[in-house]
């Protein structure tokens, strides 16, 4: 990670050392390396192993579910996220879902719509939200297109990758200041409010991505 991707990490001081936390990053690169590297950096800085709300693909068979659980992956759902937050854990939620990391590289760093579940989890548990941005995964794992499976096959979206071995792009991870939402748990039922908060956080992450991309001079060197 250090020598191949030359990962640069900033803003780790924004991740609380105690209590429940929701980390909400952009999602890119079909391989899922962004999730694992993010988890590693959080654990290295805080001593806390975050739980990752992961795509249901990981839990379709025992062969993938067992190692996923050992890595700290849990199946993405509201109930699972709230359960972990009530245990005062850190959870990582990619608000774009599969539309983010399985989108074609031609749409690199164009954030897809943020789902509102991560906001509802934070409101219901009082957990702060720490937005995060990741640059480099888009260029490391190139996606040519999306494949949408028929409903009979659970209607999943899968990537059509160009490369299986990740390319050595430079990575940067930036954690933004935590957002504490001043709402009662019952506010999580207000769909308009949840959508507005999710859109505001998406705009923050998109703005940071644009600023960092403008400042980036080289991708691979």
CB 131 within 8 A of CB 176: yes
For residue 89, give the nearest of 62, 120, 53, 56 by alpha carbon: 53
Q: Give the pLDDT of residue 151.
A: 63
Cα 158 from Cα 153, distance rounded (Å) = 11
Cα 108 from Cα 187, distance rounded (Å) = 34
Would you mind telling me the total number of residues written for the chain in this entry? 221
DSSP string spanning 120-132?
A: HHHHHHT--EEEE
Global pTM reads 0.92
Q: Give the pLDDT of residue 34.
A: 92
Find the angle CA(198)-CA(106)-CA(177) to the nearest 5 degrees.
30
Q: Give the pLDDT of residue 155.
A: 60
Cα 121 from Cα 109, distance rounded (Å) = 25
List the chain domain ranges. Answer: 8-215
For residue 91, give the nearest of 24, 13, 26 by alpha carbon: 24
Question: Do strands 73-75 and 143-148 pair parallel, antiparallel, or not at all (unpaired)?
Answer: unpaired
Half-sphere CA count of 75, side-chain side, radius 13 A: 10
Give the DSSP letter of residue 23: E
Provide the 3-class DSSP secondary structure of residue 16: coil
pLDDT per residue as tens, the chain (221 positions): 889 999 999 999 999 999 999 999 999 887 788 999 999 999 999 999 999 998 777 888 888 889 888 888 999 999 999 999 999 999 999 999 888 888 888 999 999 999 999 999 999 999 999 999 999 999 999 989 888 777 655 667 778 888 989 999 999 999 999 999 999 999 999 999 999 999 999 999 999 999 999 999 899 97
Q: Give the pLDDT of residue 153.
A: 56
């Amino acid at each position: 990670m250090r020598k191949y991707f030359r990962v640069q990490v900033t803003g780790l001081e924004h991740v609380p050392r105690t209590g429940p936390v929701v980390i909400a990053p952009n999602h890119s690169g079909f391989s899922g390396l962004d999730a694992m590297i993010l988890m590693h950096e959080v654990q290295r800085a805080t001593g806390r192993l975050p739980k990752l709300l992961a795509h249901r693909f990981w839990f379709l068979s025992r062969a993938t579910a067992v190692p996923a659980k050992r890595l700290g992956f849990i199946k993405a759902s509201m109930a699972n996220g709230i359960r972990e937050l009530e245990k005062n854990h850190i959870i990582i939620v990619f608000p774009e879902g599969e539309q983010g990391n399985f989108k074609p590289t031609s749409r690199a760093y164009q954030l897809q719509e943020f789902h509102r579940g991560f906001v509802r989890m934070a409101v219901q548990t009082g957990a702060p939200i720490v937005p995060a941005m990741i640059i480099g995964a888009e260029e490391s794992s190139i996606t040519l297109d999306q494949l949408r499976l028929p409903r009979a096959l659970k209607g999943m979206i899968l990537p059509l990758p160009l490369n299986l071995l990740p390319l050595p792009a430079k990575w940067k991870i930036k954690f933004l200041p935590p957002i504490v939402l001043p709402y009662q748990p019952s506010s999580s039922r207000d769909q308009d409010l949840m959508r507005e908060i999710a859109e505001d956080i998406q705009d923050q992450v998109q703005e940071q991505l644009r600023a960092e991309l403008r400042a980036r001079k080289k991708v691979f060197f």
